[in-house]
Structure 1
């Protein structure tokens, strides 16, 4: 896996789905078989704390290998993703949600999953 390229934590943005999945670390990615061995859609993306976007459709044997693509998420785009995510899971007042960094947006998704 190209873990050294990924700045953890990260989220998975599934194509055609508003919900996001939080991944706390490379260790979680590697040990959670639901993550590392899943068959992802060609348009599913892993987004790291720096906003770097990875394709997660490539595989090495049975393991999914995140591959950086020529795409970077901007702060406003991350804010929109998190707002839509929270709205899709029934949270109210998402229009007032704001973040100061992409990492903060990802961490917020993780904190919500833990509660």
Structure 2
């Protein structure tokens, strides 16, 4: 089960999408073009693959990959670097949940 909030990572792009809830995810995915290589990271650091289930609804499958706070921090640093708005050396988080919550004010 996904622990909200979470972030969505598009493969080949440093931009991250903050998703506060299942309903926000469903609204965003209506217009989003995504691939099998894209993934979701929940507040516990768990990685989920995204698939279309029968009937067209979204299905998320937990993988064996679990991100550390350092790994999520690196993703957020790359995200912020692509926007060139924040000093990267000041970006550090003690937990995956803290890292994901840091993106909440960017939507």
Task: Flag whether TM exceeds 0.5 (same fold).
Answer: yes
Alignment of 1:109 onto 2:103: yes
1:18 maps to which residue?
14
State the 1:67 CA deviation.
Answer: 0.9
Alignment of 1:59 onto 2:55: no
Alpha-carbon separation, structure 1, partners of 2:10 and 2:80:
15
The alignment partner of 1:53 has SS state of: strand
The alignment partner of 1:104 has SS state of: helix
Alpha-carbon separation, structure 2, partners of 1:12 and 1:88:
16
State the 1:29 CA deviation.
Answer: 2.1
Of Structure 1 and Structure 2, the greater helix share is in: 1
Alpha-carbon separation, structure 1, partners of 2:83 and 2:8:
16
Alpha-carbon separation, structure 1, partners of 2:76 and 2:41:
12
Q: How many pairs were matched up?
A: 106
Where does structure 1 lack aligned partners over 5 or more consecutive residues? none
Residues 1-115 of structure 1 mapped to structure 2, 5 A cutoff: 5-30=1-26, 32=27, 34-35=28-29, 38-56=32-50, 58-60=51-53, 61-111=55-105, 113-114=106-107
TM-score by length of 1: 0.84
State the 1:36 CA deviation.
Answer: 5.5
Structure 1 runs, 4 residues or longer, greater than 6 Å off: none
What is the alpha-carbon root mean square deviation over aligned residues?
A: 1.5
State the 1:71 CA deviation.
Answer: 0.6
